[in-house]
Copies of this chain bind each other. A is one copy, B any other.
Amino acid sequence: MKITFLGTSSGTPSRTRNVSCIALQLVQQGVLWLFDCGEGTQHQIMQSPLRLSQLEKVFFTHMHGDHLFGIIGLLASRSLQGGGTSPVTLYGPPALEKYVLCTLETSSTGLAYPLHVQPIADSLVYEDDNLQVECRLLKHRINSWGYAVIEKDQPGHFEVEKAMALGIPAGPLYGKLKNGESIILPDGRTIHGADLVGPTRPGRKIVYCSDTIYTPNAVELAANADVLIHEATYLHQDESLAIRGKHSTAAMAARVAQEAKVKTLILTHFSPRYEADARTSMGEMLAEAQTIFPNTFLARDFWSYEVQRN
């Protein structure tokens, strides 16, 4: 599972940061998911190693334009040039469907693949054999949802060398043992699968909270996550702006990380105001969060973070 930040600015693009989008590559499945899709996301993808043809799902946190206005152009380009023919599903607030239908219709945009729009109706947004996606309502000026991508626990590794040392012939018996079954060997020995399979490997958990001011719902959603990506529009010194716009300071984001006991915090969605004096203010942003939660990183456009298996 590899995260790539495609837009890390809040509100408007800056000279070095585009508006919000996060890509999640599910390497094993060979698919690409996006979280939010600000204007210019297709341009960012074109400048990255990501491929639009692999796009399978886009999850929208809320309906503000800096998280939304890139979607129709991206879908159209996937159809025209991106080589995509597989279906794409969009998940988001109820108004998403109206936005998508209206823009497709008024612009006479036809797509070469099926498009589904799935309004968020429940905390469980999506589930398959390997993953589930959950959401929680956060606290912003309009309804805004955080998302958790939760990998299901994986069976432990089968200890091939131990099996060979026991003289078990390679082949179908290995499959049975991997599944936890017991077998009787021709020489009469009984072998229990459980003895040859390592401990269950817990799945990974990635959580994305944006836009929001500090809320216990974010803590609940992010509980024990491997990675929490949290907006940090402002520095604590500008907390009054954060409260007015219902955004977070770096300190608020770090508090969520600390209370949720996550492993890693990545901050994003920075106000362009701090770029004017990029070294100082962005350094302050990191220092402010690390005082509360040391294992914090600042996202930047095109930065990738590989979420290691537990």
Contact = CB atoms under 8 A, between A and B. Distances in A.
Interface of A: 11-15, 18-19, 38-40, 42-43, 46-47, 63-66, 68-70, 72-73, 76-77, 80-81, 95-96, 98-99, 102-103, 106-109, 141-142, 272
5 contacts: A11-B80, A12-B77, A14-B46, A15-B46, A96-B106
B106 A102 contact: yes
A99 B80 CA distance: 21
Given A12-B80, A95-B106, A65 B69 contact: no
B63 A69 contact: no
A108 B143 CA distance: 11
A95 B141 CA distance: 30
B108 A63 contact: yes
A13 B18 CA distance: 16
A111 to B, nearest CB: 11
A68 B95 CA distance: 21
Nearest to A98: B106
Contacts of A66: 73, 76
A108 B245 CA distance: 14
A107 to B, nearest CB: 4
A39 B107 contact: no
Nearest to A273: B81
A14 B106 CA distance: 24
Contact of A46 (B13, B96, B141): B13
Contacts of A63: 106-108
Contacts of A19: 73
Interface centre among A12, A18, A19, A63 (most CB of B within 10 A): A12
Given A13-B43, A65-B76, 9 more contacts: A18-B43, A39-B39, A39-B69, A40-B43, A64-B108, A65-B109, A98-B102, A99-B102, A103-B103
